[in-house]
Structure 1
């Protein structure tokens, strides 16, 4: 048996894709070494280490761990992901956009172009939000200037953040086109993994018993990885039977298939929606001067924060699954192709049956995601030195992203091996039984 890794490296096409992916990811990480002009990296580093709150830690981890650094790629891939989410929702709500999506490659090309265009205003809005909420409040020397931050510095910072977001989007699309896997997902994964040395270093510096703490974190992290893989691979299979058709003496159809419903069909989207919506009350209360209420919404291990977060995750999990998975359309397609669920009448009864199963599967996935959403805050409260985006690396949210992307990458690599080395019924290269006989 040949080592699969060696097989991948020996294949010229796959080797080239792997090298291109690694090279583009290296270029992405180089962007973190380019500082924004006029800013002070020390203050933002302290803010990322725990002073920014739970919401800041989540956004920093999801953007690649760079929101806490005054660098060119501080926004990361967030604007492009936001634009993609918007068009995913609009594709299910707008009939015109749904018709464009069904046009195949041409329709997908249009959607991709619109996503790129929408990424620019989203990046501008996020850059303005960061400037007015973080940079403009120059109370602790966030800028290198001695006076108040002016319009010139604001323009430089905002344009730098927007340009960095567009450049990251371009790198992600290059990875998708010429590399292996989804470029945006790999960029998020690379950003999360890159925070591992800093996370462990912070724990070691602030904990006198760092050795025991690191062992506990590693054991907890491995446990979470096993659970995430188990849930990600879990699915409910609905049996599908195709009707038999007779044409003369031949009988067609009659095959048995399955309609798989994944337990965690929504992925990490409900956590993203819940975290984005959860920031609104804290920002509003902080602006109005109601610091007590704002503190309750920012206390990651408090009762109010945990309760509302779990409720929001449950709501968005059901909302996303019901929006993206349409039982009526599936029942119609099954009936048009001569398929049915054994024991269930085609049409409306099949739709109701699939919808009932979907609700139960979604409930299990929502419980899992709700636990994952509140886990970083609980870990932060128990482990000294683990705050902000550090908790989200060792917590459930980042692990869910990393494991999901890694599993997708492994599937892509296995597909490359199958395409290259598929032997079929010619396994062993012996050829037909009559090939070596005389007179054949």
Structure 2
């Protein structure tokens, strides 16, 4: 406890760090206040009663901090920006123009960010129209007025752009990645109510207090397991040749390339989830297939077929996303230009093949563990844990929480160490996701 108070005192003594943390808290407070501002003319209580709490809508509502179900001006949150970032990153692989921009350094990144913003506006307008037609359909008196749709689309689009601006301001003037912190705050906002509901259900119904304590212990173990996956690295030794410039010697030291066991982060789960909603979509648009046993099984969140296919897709997408974010050829070229080499491995193509082989080997256990984490909420739900509380046992929300918290703590620790204070831990250093090597010029998704 004394160590904790000493660390907090050291953080408060550093003016720059104190200002950044204060700015971050103020920006996040603005976001949370805005999430309770309802669209003009909408009866949010009536709409929330009509909405489903599970599936994709429940996940989107969690990311938006409850704004989605409240019909808030921030109902769409930052998800359109996330979608635009993913699309632009994939265009960098398929379209030569975007691939060229990724190699142009700072100017290229600025152009890519500009394209991402334009695409965010387009996606937000489309999602806003879909949100109004589907979520506010119960308000027939409003849906009959075309001006309501126009104004609501404008307000929702402006709300998403404002949230995106808040995220950029947090990144520039605060601590941590702004977009990631906004998503994390939205997820954490759902935890107290989920925790309280689960406690009441267990203490007043089946299971009792002992079952609730077992659930909490299981949740802690899952969080620890997730931290191991997020921080797990395979270090490759790199030796740099000695260079003498004037009377100074450069190089001649051994360093390490940290390759992440889970270099793809949460993206494989997001891609897999998008595909797993296809069966339910087919049933919705083709009523004749609504009784198809295969589609019903694949649409059931707790079925074996759904979770096995979900896990297989996560493993495949982990390999795919790792291949497009980690470039062994580029790493080999950069190493060669700087006079570095892996002991016992020839520079050039041999080094690239060696790095690619190591990545392939560590990606397999990383993808399997990621798939296990992704299906834990379904397992928890099948044994009686409420659907809302079960989401915190794994999946997208838990990986985002762990990753963002580690990244933010790593930045705080960096500020402390730069000013010769002790870090946040007595031994070792906090490792976030920033150590993941990626192809130069790529724009990683905010989460």
TM-score normalized by the length of structure 1: 0.86
> 2:156 corresponds to which residue?
161
Note the C-alpha offset of 1:175. 0.7
> 2:112 corresponds to which residue?
111
Note the C-alpha offset of 1:257. 1.4
Q: For residues 148 and 402 of structure 1, do their structure 2 counterparts lie closer, same or farther at Cα, with a shift above 3 Å needed?
A: closer
Q: For residues 291 and 40 of structure 1, do their structure 2 counterparts lie closer, same or farther at Cα, with a shift above 3 Å needed?
A: farther
Q: CA contact under 8 A between 2:101 and 2:108: conserved in structure 1?
A: yes
Note the C-alpha offset of 1:178. 0.9
> 2:440 corresponds to which residue?
none
Q: Does 1:195 align with 2:190?
A: yes
Q: Does 1:173 align with 2:174?
A: no
Count matched residues. Answer: 413
> 1:133 corresponds to which residue?
134
> 2:399 corresponds to which residue?
400
Q: Aligned equivalents of 2:168 and 2:338: distance in 1? A: 36
Q: For residues 148 and 95 of structure 1, do their structure 2 counterparts lie closer, same or farther at Cα, with a shift above 3 Å needed?
A: closer
> 1:363 corresponds to which residue?
364
Q: CA contact under 8 A between 1:241 and 1:342: conserved in structure 2?
A: yes
SS of corresponding position for 1:329: helix
Note the C-alpha offset of 1:55. 2.2
Structure 1 stretches lacking a partner, 5+ long: 424-440
Q: Does 1:299 align with 2:300?
A: yes
Q: Aligned equivalents of 1:102 and 1:359: distance in 2? A: 25
The 5 Å alignment of 1:345-384 reads 345-384=346-385
> 1:237 corresponds to which residue?
235
The 5 Å alignment of 1:8-47 reads 8-46=11-49
Note the C-alpha offset of 1:147. 8.1
Q: Aligned equivalents of 1:421 and 1:107: distance in 2? A: 36
Q: For residues 149 and 248 of structure 1, do their structure 2 counterparts lie closer, same or farther at Cα, with a shift above 3 Å needed?
A: closer
SS of corresponding position for 1:239: strand
Give the 4+ runs in structure 1 shifted more than 6 A. 246-251
Q: For residues 397 and 153 of structure 1, do their structure 2 counterparts lie closer, same or farther at Cα, with a shift above 3 Å needed?
A: same
> 2:437 corresponds to which residue?
none
Q: Aligned equivalents of 1:147 and 1:250: distance in 2? A: 75
With 194-203 and 64-73 compared, the bigger mean Cα shift is at 64-73
> 2:415 corresponds to which residue?
416
Note the C-alpha offset of 1:251. 6.7
Q: Aligned equivalents of 2:47 and 2:211: distance in 1? A: 26
Note the C-alpha offset of 1:4. 1.8
Q: CA contact under 8 A between 1:73 and 1:168: conserved in structure 2?
A: yes
Q: For residues 148 and 241 of structure 1, do their structure 2 counterparts lie closer, same or farther at Cα, with a shift above 3 Å needed?
A: closer
Note the C-alpha offset of 1:374. 1.4
Residues 151-176 of structure 1 deviation map (CA, whole Å, 9 limit, x = unaligned):
33333433332222111111111111
Q: Aligned equivalents of 2:8 and 2:163: distance in 1? A: 29
> 2:264 corresponds to which residue?
266
Q: Aligned equivalents of 1:30 and 1:375: distance in 2? A: 32
SS of corresponding position for 1:3: helix
Note the C-alpha offset of 1:407. 0.4
> 2:432 corresponds to which residue?
none
Q: For residues 372 and 62 of structure 1, do their structure 2 counterparts lie closer, same or farther at Cα, with a shift above 3 Å needed?
A: farther
| Superposition CA RMSD, Å | 2.5
Q: CA contact under 8 A between 1:376 and 1:397: conserved in structure 2?
A: no
SS of corresponding position for 1:67: helix
Q: Does 1:277 align with 2:278?
A: no
Q: Aligned equivalents of 1:78 and 1:270: distance in 2? A: 16
Structure 2 stretches lacking a partner, 5+ long: 423-447
Q: Aligned equivalents of 1:249 and 1:178: distance in 2? A: 41
Instruction: Please say which structure displays the higher CA radius of gyration.
Output: 1
Q: Aligned equivalents of 1:296 and 1:164: distance in 2? A: 37
Q: Aligned equivalents of 1:205 and 1:253: distance in 2? A: 62
> 1:255 corresponds to which residue?
253
